[in-house]
Structure 1
């Protein structure tokens, strides 16, 4: 919240607020403060207050008005109240004057948004430089500018949709630029105005809730928990004497801190209904909340840019939001926002109270089912006429694995089932709890014939507690995942959660593949993965050979992966050297001709050693990545790491994708250093001059994630592309085209993007903002070329960036 304070002085008689032993007064003139707080608000007419005439010439008058500012929209309900006061300190030529001035509230307007404050303050010496430092509210006497008390409660309160930010919680601080006292301080007409910008010491989170297609939901309590940082502070303090105060404003020191904050809502009203699962139509985060569309909830929290992470190795933090409602508890995990002092961040949360019928999720069915005792059981419902096999318990799914891995042609044929389940669909009819028993992947051979070749339809049910601790190798190969060597026609609507794969040492194998849903999908079968999800951990290590690891698929040589979500936490150790890098991706470790579309990653990738790592794909030697987003963090300390928010090592097309995750490559420089680190692509390699005249395309993407790189002998880093290679083919066509990509200002820590010609890689700004008429930025439903962005396309910069069509499906 920003206020513009204008000061002027008037002639006065002597005032002795400062200790006489320390200060020798040159003049007894007092500074009379006429303060006009003004902020742009085009929608609201400014309240008026009648001019105040001081009865005593020693009296300082401050006319204060609180309004809403464009970029500091912290509070919607802050009012001055009776006996409010503002604390003021003065710094003279770099030294603080001991003792604080008090400006106390006098008359107030009916609305409480304007007030007249009175107190005493004066110039210290004529012709010398002064600074003024102020804070609000001044509830106690503070005489030390180095210890201005602040306290942010871990339990906050809100009364329905009103009673937003309480005055006592919201600490405002301000400093003036250097002001030189007039040569004659007895002549007020010589004084120049003093301007001060007031800003909140805290950040604000505003959650806007709606219920997906169901009425009657009310929220009584909201808890936010951070897994890596603190939200609140008790008995902390501001130090106005710190040199960084004039740039950071409000860094809070000391105090007892908490990683959780609770909001109790008294008299909650019914949450409005949304017809979409992830967005509230008509809601605009840059405007005040509309109670007809959303139920707003307001938190004041610590600005996390000034709060260190508890575990720096985690790179990032996650916020777990838990709701207590009249229809039971609901929980959702968000990627943290970068919060600065005085700024508000709007987050939409559509509560899915029932299954929406899409089959992709089943949020209302939390019963994991009876844990597997280890027995293998033949399914009872085998429908040969419709070629379906119903799975009701874990042992029946293990039977499918046994039939494939043991090549049980005779047993399957005796049941009338085709070998390797060709043309059959295996259907989950309820949640499957594998009970942390060691799972043998479905398909452990290494030939295209001896693998599962049917369809698995999970119908949105969960497979929980998938546990794999050994490689289940076949000869010199290892395949690790729910499926191993996978030749399925399709795997759809399969949700794996609470998985624990590894730690597994792959050093003894020539090649190994690890994937949450499938380890390896060979090109011969062109498997289609759709509407699958994976949540859990994957931990493994390799020797000198490469191996791909992915949240959904380890390596996909063809086929497609669409509408899949990965929350995998992948931790890999690679001993590869020089040009042989292991591959790690949030969706797929490696792809060749596979097409990936409308997928999301929000987990963690952490590689020790050399890795090709990307939020969607680690290494792509062909295929495409379209309309995907990455919210997860990416890390590798290898000297040759290739890290990208979407693809690490790229030889494929990337269209309409965006990254908000943090990327870190802290590896020390070496003689073999050749890192490529970028917000979208780590290294973009050339296509074939003979086979592919157009090379690869990077179009209509953006990145807002933080990038940290330790630069070495031959390293490259950029906001969009780390290392970029281009060429002109024999046909005269410029290959590896980069078109209409954007990045957020100051996302890089040490470099500017390569090839930043206009129209290729551009910094977001008020004059550089994508338009839906630009190539690659078209609005549509994803069915047509270049129409991948949602129809609620933001028209100008603000707190909201463009989002993809599938994020707002009705």
Structure 2
């Protein structure tokens, strides 16, 4: 009898914990920081972060939002964290916890889990790391992304957006809508992207000018599909910055102008060691409209998905990462100004083969 009673008590506790982490769409629970760290354990607390930021009560400057538990947002309407009027000025540490069932509807600009992040000065880079999103269904206007709509002077590391749809009018990306002076490293997205007007990208809609090309998109990849009537790319819709050691197996890709990797590359746009998949469309070009200077024999290479799975392509390192045995090591110094050189940078490992197959 005691064993049966113990079982039911444990069952009740487990279900109570589960219920706490499945947001009901309305509850907002205040969070008290400890040494400028706001520890988040459920959707109600995360909604409080959005509320306080968006109404101008707190900007979270020099603070960190730390996700301590998996969070199910329950497919209830989500309000993105940060607006153009009141940007989120803090950092976020996801701790490899999964935030699932994110839903946003409407036509607002700057939408995603985060809406608008912008550093409080040009010498400070806001950091977001190890934030994992699964099953997103997002609709908005301009600057729409799975993780964030608009990011300026930010750095994203080891984050992903996995499964779902991201739709907007312009600058729409599976991971981020628009970047400006922003770095992304070891991140990926695998969603269906639709840009109803222009510039859809499997990973980023518009990748804008970096400060001396020091903050760049590197060691990232995209899978899924990209569609819309304008200019679209398997990885980036419009590139006005630098992308290095990244690749995409996005399919299908469509638009008035489209490329396997990039829709439009400006005069300032640069690519280094980037790959796109030719398995689904053997005649597709890496860049739809190239206004810059790119060595297509070295830095914009078409490969089949079979080639991407060969040992020679993935390099000699071991491990389930973009850089084999080097995966997990930092690629930037703490000041984000000195790139570190991974062992297999010429041959990024197709992480989707290990995780998404």
Same fold, judged at TM 0.5 (above): yes
Describe the shift of the 1:368–1:697 C-alpha distance in structure 2 as closer, same or farther (beyond 3 A). Answer: farther
Equivalent residue for 2:194?
606
Structure 2 counterpart of 1:584, from 150, 168, 172: 172
**Which is bigger in relative contact order (C-alpha 8 A, separation at least 6)?**
2
Equivalent residue for 1:498?
101
Report the structure number with the largest CA radius of gyration. 1
Equivalent residue for 1:521?
117
Q: Does 1:396 align with 2:45?
A: yes
Task: Name the CA distance, whole Å, in 2 between partners of 1:664 and 1:682.
Answer: 10
Equivalent residue for 1:787?
342
TM-score normalised over the length of structure 2: 0.71
Q: Does 1:643 align with 2:232?
A: yes
Gaps of 5+ in 2: 1-16, 211-215, 317-321, 332-338
Equivalent residue for 1:459?
95
Q: Does 1:742 align with 2:344?
A: no
Task: Name the CA distance, whole Å, in 2 between partners of 1:428 and 1:573.
Answer: 27
Q: Does 1:626 align with 2:222?
A: no
Structure 1 counterpart of 2:30, from 365, 372, 378: 378
Q: How does 1:310-709 map to 2 (within 5 A)?
A: 367=18, 369-373=20-24, 374-379=26-31, 382-383=33-34, 386-408=35-57, 420-444=59-83, 446-447=84-85, 450-461=86-97, 495-502=98-105, 504-506=106-108, 512-515=109-112, 517-524=113-120, 526-540=125-139, 542=141, 547-572=142-167, 574=169, 582-607=170-195, 609-623=196-210, 624-636=216-228, 638=229, 641-665=230-254, 675-687=256-268, 696-706=269-279
What's the CA shift for 1:435?
4.5
Task: Name the CA distance, whole Å, in 2 between partners of 1:780 and 1:697.
Answer: 27
Please tell me whether the aligned partners of residues 790 and 806 of structure 1 are also in contact (alpha carbons under 8 angstroms): no
What's the CA shift for 1:497?
0.9
Q: Does 1:721 align with 2:262?
A: no
Please tell me whether the aligned partners of residues 682 and 722 of structure 1 are also in contact (alpha carbons under 8 angstroms): yes
Task: Name the CA distance, whole Å, in 1 between partners of 2:323 and 2:65.
Answer: 39
Describe the shift of the 1:628–1:788 C-alpha distance in structure 2 as closer, same or farther (beyond 3 A). Answer: farther
TM-score normalised over the length of structure 1: 0.34
Deviations 1:697-735 (A, max 9, x none): 3222222245569xxxxxxx8432222224xxxxxxxx4
What's the CA shift for 1:594?
1.0
Aligned length: 309
Gaps of 5+ in 1: 1-365, 409-418, 462-494, 507-511, 575-581, 668-674, 688-695, 710-716, 727-734, 748-763, 794-801
For the aligned residue pairs, the C-alpha RMSD in angstroms reads 3.8
Deviations 1:268-297 (A, max 9, x none): xxxxxxxxxxxxxxxxxxxxxxxxxxxxxx
What's the CA shift for 1:565?
0.9
Q: How does 1:51-90 map to 2 (within 5 A)?
A: none
Task: Name the CA distance, whole Å, in 1 between partners of 2:136 and 2:40.
Answer: 25
Please tell me whether the aligned partners of residues 697 and 738 of structure 1 are also in contact (alpha carbons under 8 angstroms): no
Describe the shift of the 1:780–1:443 C-alpha distance in structure 2 as closer, same or farther (beyond 3 A). Answer: same
Structure ranking higher in helix proportion: 2
The secondary structure found in structure 2 opposite 1:401 is: helix
What's the CA shift for 1:770?
6.8
Q: How does 1:34-113 map to 2 (within 5 A)?
A: none
Task: Name the CA distance, whole Å, in 2 between partners of 1:615 and 1:539.
Answer: 14
Task: Name the CA distance, whole Å, in 2 between partners of 1:615 and 1:702.
Answer: 13
